[in-house]
């Protein structure tokens, strides 16, 4: 009988210790559900926060959409790294007055004219025609590099 009571006691201790540790989860990052890029909570998945990353801006008139080409590509798990990241529609107003620095003339030797901060999300509903993940960014801040 004492063995059964001891087993029940140990089981209760394990349950209590696992339930209290699960209550101390870290808060979810801002934009964890991708709603900083689109209201559809099922479309985007938060990947990481980009901080002070050297990059060049691409956009009209040479390219149809706005985006950044990062100096250091982002790798998601074992997949091929991605350096070209589109901008979420909700933040284009933060960059459209800046001059694009990734152009047909500079793409071989980009100047890395900007530093960017922002949230990287992956489009879960599509991939690029090359099979690479479609990454987008919600820009929090952009500065000209020194």
For the chain, the residue count is 146
- Strand-pairing partners, residue 88, are none
Are 122 and 132 a contacting pair, CB within 8 Å? no
pLDDT digits (tens, 9 = 90+) for 54-74: 999 999 999 989 999 999 999
Q: How are the residues of the chain apportioned to helix, strand and coil, as percentages rounded to the nearest 5?
A: 20, 40, 45
Query: Distance (Å, rounded) from C-alpha 67 to C-alpha 37?
Result: 13
pLDDT digits (tens, 9 = 90+) for 62-116: 998 999 999 999 998 888 899 999 999 999 999 999 999 999 999 899 999 999 9
Are 113 and 70 a contacting pair, CB within 8 Å? no
pTM of the predicted structure, to 2 decimals = 0.77
What DSSP character marks residue 34?
S
What DSSP character marks residue 94?
G
């Amino acid at each position: 009988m004492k063995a059964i009571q001891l087993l029940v006691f140990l089981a209760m201790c394990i349950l209590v210790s696992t339930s209290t540790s699960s209550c101390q989860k870290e808060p979810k990052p801002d934009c964890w559900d991708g709603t900083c890029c689109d209201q559809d909570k099922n479309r985007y998945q938060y990947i990481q926060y980009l901080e002070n990353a050297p990059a060049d801006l691409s956009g009209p008139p040479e390219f149809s959409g706005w985006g950044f080409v990062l100096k250091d590509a982002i790798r998601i798990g074992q997949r091929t790294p991605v350096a070209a990241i589109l901008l979420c529609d909700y933040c284009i107003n933060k960059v459209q007055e800046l001059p694009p620095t990734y152009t047909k003339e500079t793409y071989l030797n980009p100047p890395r004219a900007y530093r960017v901060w922002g949230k990287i999300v992956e489009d879960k509903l599509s991939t690029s025609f090359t099979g690479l993940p479609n990454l987008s960014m919600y820009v929090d801040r952009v500065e000209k590099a020194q």
